Amino acid sequence: MSDVDEALVELLTPLVRRLVQDELAKEPTRRGWVSPKKAAEILGLPVATVYQRAQRGKLPSRHVGRNLYIDLDALDATLGGTST
């Protein structure tokens, strides 16, 4: 890598890190317990697939009354990263 490339990377790294953190902060409902519809949006899956995977135990979920909620924090831990 040339000196110009290294200087550019050094200048851009903090900016990119700050921009990513700002974008993540805009979605406070992104983590924790979410509806199957919201989980489908985050995971890029059809809602029916989210229900099927929850029923099969492939997605960490819990019923509260008649409502189903998906635990994205547990899913992140299972995947070893983020569910984006």
CATH of 31-84 given 1.20.5, 3.40.50, 1.10.10, 2.20.25 = 1.10.10
Q: What's the pLDDT at 51? A: 95
Is residue 62 over pLDDT 90?
A: yes
Q: Is the dihedral of CA 28, 33, 38, 40 positive or negative?
A: positive
Q: What's the pLDDT at 79? A: 62
Q: What is the C-alpha to C-alpha distance for residues 45 and 72, in angstroms, rounded to an integer?
A: 14
Verdict on whether the full-model pTM lies above 0.85: no
The 10s digit of each residue's pLDDT in 45-55 is: 999 999 999 99
How do the domains of the chain map onto residue ranges? 1-28, 31-84
